[in-house]
Structure formats: C-alpha cells, structure tokens
Structure 1
Amino acid sequence: MRMEGKVVIITGGASGLGKAAVEKFAREGAIVYACDMDVEGLDNLKKEFSELPGKVIPKRLNVTDRPAITELIGEIKSEFGRIDGLINNAGVTRDALIQRMSEEDWDLVINVNLKGVFNMTQAVAPVMIDQGYGSIVNTSSIVGVYGNIGQSNYSASKGGVIAMTKTWAKELTRKGAKIRVNAVAPGFIKTPMTEKMPEKILVALEEKIPLKRIGLPEEIANVYFFLISDESSYLTGQVIGVDGGLVI
C-alpha cells in the first residue's frame, strides 16, 4: 500500500470525483478525511468503504465556513500530528449567460470554488510548513483555461484556482519546506453534474473528444493520487489537463 498511514483531506468527498478519490486513497492505506455538505453521501461512505485497508473519516464541512475549517484542522493535527495531502475538490455550478446571471449565483460559485480553496489551503499550509513537507492538489477545469459560454462564474473561479496554484507553489517553498502545489483540469467527466446534461449534448461532446468518450471519476482520482504521492516528487506549479484530448 503506497499511502499507508498518510493523512489526506479531500473536500467534496461524498460524490463524483471526490468519492472516487476517497476510495482510491483508502485502498492504498491512507487515513482519509472525506469532507462534504452531503450528510447522506458521507454516511454512505462509511458503509461502502468500511472494508478498505485505509480509514475513511467522513466530516460534514462547508468550505466557506472558516471557523469550522480551523476546528477540523486542529482536530486532525491533535489526532494524527500531520497532514500529508490536501485535495481541494469541492465545487458547484450555477450556469447562465452574463445577461441573466444573478449576483447570488455569481457569489455562490466564487465563494465555494475559489474562496473555499483559499480557505482550506490557508488553514492547512501552516501545518505543512511546520512539518516541512506536503502536497496540495487543486481542482480546476479546462473551462478555467479556455472559458465556456454560460459559465462566467465557473470559468472565473477555476481560472483563479490555477493562478493561486502557481502562486502557492512559489510561496510555500520559500523557507525550504518541500510543499508541492499542483492543479488538475478535468474535461467532461461522468459525474452528477454531467449526468444532468441532455443525452444529445453528451453524444456531440464525445464526437469532439479524440478518445471518443466521457472520462470516468476514477481516471481523475488516479491523477490526484499521483500528484499527492511521492511519485510526483519533482512536480509543482503545474496544471494537468485530463480531458481525453479535447484540448490539444
């Protein structure tokens, strides 16, 4: 087991990409804090992953709630004395053309997708600096690089995640700590978000993708794992596109 005893926090861990990542890390022996707002989804994790070699610890957490984040990080530090990895995976969408997008929908997406990543990283970074190492993975999107119609808020948030990733990769190593920060930019992946899309749109998308299919959550989880693990020990400040070749 390549992650035995390592402590990893995964936000948005109750479904989609996050759930696949929780399973991947637990299979490799990690102690995984699966954080999410979905209480039912978190309860299901206990049942589904209870037999895996690692330990899954479900935690209800809103990444916009800074006091709750501080409390969680304190709990983890007290219990295990370390945080090896953080995956900032939690995210939401509220799509609309710019003429129709409400301020509330703009604020929600920016607060969760951008400020939530900032909140989590700001809380975890001091622990990693003190221990002298760590790996942080931020979930961006190809939309954060190339934009998309009807997603001003989402593309802005995911573009901001990339900018923060590159900044933190420089900041967090200034005093010699071996802290790596990278981003993953998924394309269209089979998750609850894409399952809401009309079938004809999904078929059209698949035709545009060189590999001719929508990606699977497990394929993103594999990249998360690589970036958190020592297998990527000389990789930092990078944006890894996982999109089946949609953007080349």
Structure 2
Amino acid sequence: MSTTQSRVALVTGGSGGIGRAVVRRLASDGFDVAVHYVGNAARAQEVVEEATATGSRAIAVGGDVADETAMAEAFDAVQAELGGVDVVVNTAGVMVLGPIATFDLDALDRMHRTNIRGTFVVSQLAANRLRRGGALINFSTSQTRAQHPTYGPYVASKAAVEGLTLVLARELRGRDVTVNAVAPGPVATPLFLDGKDEETVAGFARLVPLERLGEPADVAETVAFLAGPARWVNGQVLFTNGGLV
C-alpha cells in the first residue's frame, strides 16, 4: 500500500455538506483530493482551495454520477492529474420525502437515478480503477433501521446501496480493496434541514441519546477511518448516528 502522503481520494458530492467535510478531513490526513460536483463549479473550487491550503494537491471534476461516460472522464482526469485513485467516497445523493401511498413516481425515478444508478456507476468504475490497498466508501442512511414515516422512497434507494456494497466487497476478493458503507443519522446539512421547521429538527435531535444532530465532521471521521487505518473492516455498513438505532 502506498504511503499516506501519496494517496489520492475522489469524493463525489465533494462540494456538499458531508462531502466538503470529508475532503477537509482527508486533506488533513495528507491525501490528495478530487472534489466532484454537479452544477456548482464555484463552490467546488472553494473546497479545492481549502484542501490546497493544507498542502494537498486538489482538483475539481464535474459530472452526473449516473452518467457512466461523464464519470469515466472524471476518473480519467483524476488519474491524469493526481496519478491514480486509492479511495472513492461516494457522498452524492438526493433525498425526497413523502408517504409511499401518494409519492410522485417521477420524483422516485429522479431520486433513484442518483442514489441507485449513480452509486452503481461510481462503484463499477471504482472496482476497475482503485489501486491495491484502496477503499470504496458508499453512503446509506440510518433510516434503513429507524424507518420513520415519509422516508420510505429514500430508504428504498439506500437499501439498494447497502446490498450493492456488501456484494461488491465479496466480488473484489484478492484485490486488497475494501468496500463499505456509512449510514449517517440526522446530520445538520442543507440536505437534511431542507423543508424542516425548528420543532421538527429539535425532535430529531431529541431522538439521539447524545441529544444533538450530527455534524458533517462527525461523519468525516468515520470516512477517514475507513479510508485509512481500517483495513480489516470490509463488507460492512457503519451506522454513524450517535446511538439513534
């Protein structure tokens, strides 16, 4: 396995709340980082500048995670500019809430395109591109266990991510590549907070034994563990949720 200073991480959704925290954490560990984005190049560049300020090399790469051609080009850019790919952290995701009985099927298709197809495309590329000693870290949700109403369509997509992750870990036997998923609980990100009033947010915080929402940095610590020292953790879903479930 290469030294920490020369390892390269690609973070999809790297300009978002959790993704940004992951980039910061991995850069602080000495990783060179590729910040993936869709649509907001300026924000991705801000994250790149934060990473380079720590002494890491960093680039921004764009593309729809569900578009296999665009993502292959993103992987190509990372390999050309940073020398290879050792870690892929797949934080890109969409969350739309609503009861199953009345849920809009077009919204379901849009969400599942990013969460299921997008995760599949990135995982497929990672399976073929990661160097020995590498790690793929996908993202699920603690709602697969908590099962709160209105989360059904979202949970359906993330349950698929868990299944894909666990099978891929077994398929990569002999490659010295770990494949795991992180399943956060309620985290104070725009994705989670969108559409929720203060009372609803406070209610989620009370559900957690630690009596607070998670912070993106809390999740980034788990990712750093899986990306670095956790070579004996493979084919697992790590529930990073303060004891919610």
Class of the TM-score when normalised by the shorter of the 2 chains: over 0.9
Comparing 144-153 and 115-124, the one that deviates more = 144-153
How far off its partner does 1:145 sit? Answer: 3.3
Match of 1:95 in 2: 97
Does the 8 A contact of 1:169 with 1:237 survive in 2?
yes
Match of 1:54 in 2: 56
Does the 8 A contact of 1:3 with 1:28 survive in 2?
yes
Match of 1:44 in 2: 46
CA distance in 1, matches of 2:143, 2:208: 15
Does the 8 A contact of 1:29 with 1:55 survive in 2?
no
Match of 1:4 in 2: 5
Match of 2:143 in 1: 143
Deviation readout 1:110-130 (Å, 9 max, x if unpaired): 1101111110111121123xx
Match of 1:13 in 2: 14
How far off its partner does 1:56 sit? Answer: 2.2
Deviation readout 1:132-175 (Å, 9 max, x if unpaired): 331111110011234331122210111111111110110011xx
How far off its partner does 1:65 sit? Answer: 1.3
How far off its partner does 1:43 sit? Answer: 2.6
CA distance in 2, matches of 1:187, 1:223: 13
The unaligned stretches of length 5 or more in structure 2 are none
Match of 2:240 in 1: 242
Structure-2 change in CA distance of 1:80 and 1:15 (3 Å):
closer
The normalised TM-score by structure 2 is: 0.93
Does the 8 A contact of 2:95 with 2:154 survive in 1?
yes
Q: How does 1:103-142 map to 2 (within 5 A)?
A: 103-128=105-130, 131-142=131-142
Does the 8 A contact of 1:148 with 1:155 survive in 2?
no
Structure-2 change in CA distance of 1:132 and 1:51 (3 Å):
closer
Match of 1:171 in 2: 171
CA distance in 2, matches of 1:31, 1:71: 18
User: Are residues 1:206 and 2:205 paired?
Assistant: yes
Q: How does 1:213-228 map to 2 (within 5 A)?
A: 213-228=212-227
Match of 1:30 in 2: 31
Comparing 84-93 and 48-57, the one that deviates more = 48-57
Q: How does 1:80-91 map to 2 (within 5 A)?
A: 80-91=82-93
Structure 1 runs (4+) deviating above 4 angstroms are none
How far off its partner does 1:80 sit? Answer: 4.1
The normalised TM-score by structure 1 is: 0.92
Match of 1:155 in 2: 155
The unaligned stretches of length 5 or more in structure 1 are none
Does the 8 A contact of 2:30 with 2:56 survive in 1?
yes
Does the 8 A contact of 2:24 with 2:50 survive in 1?
no
CA distance in 1, matches of 2:16, 2:191: 10
CA distance in 2, matches of 1:48, 1:84: 21
Deviation readout 1:16-55 (Å, 9 max, x if unpaired): 1000001111122211111011223213223434311212
Residue identity matched to 1:165: T
How far off its partner does 1:81 sit? Answer: 4.2
CA distance in 1, matches of 2:189, 2:234: 27
Comparing 157-166 and 52-61, the one that deviates more = 52-61
1:233 aligned counterpart, secondary structure: coil
The alignment covers a number of residue pairs equal to: 241
1:133 aligned counterpart, secondary structure: coil
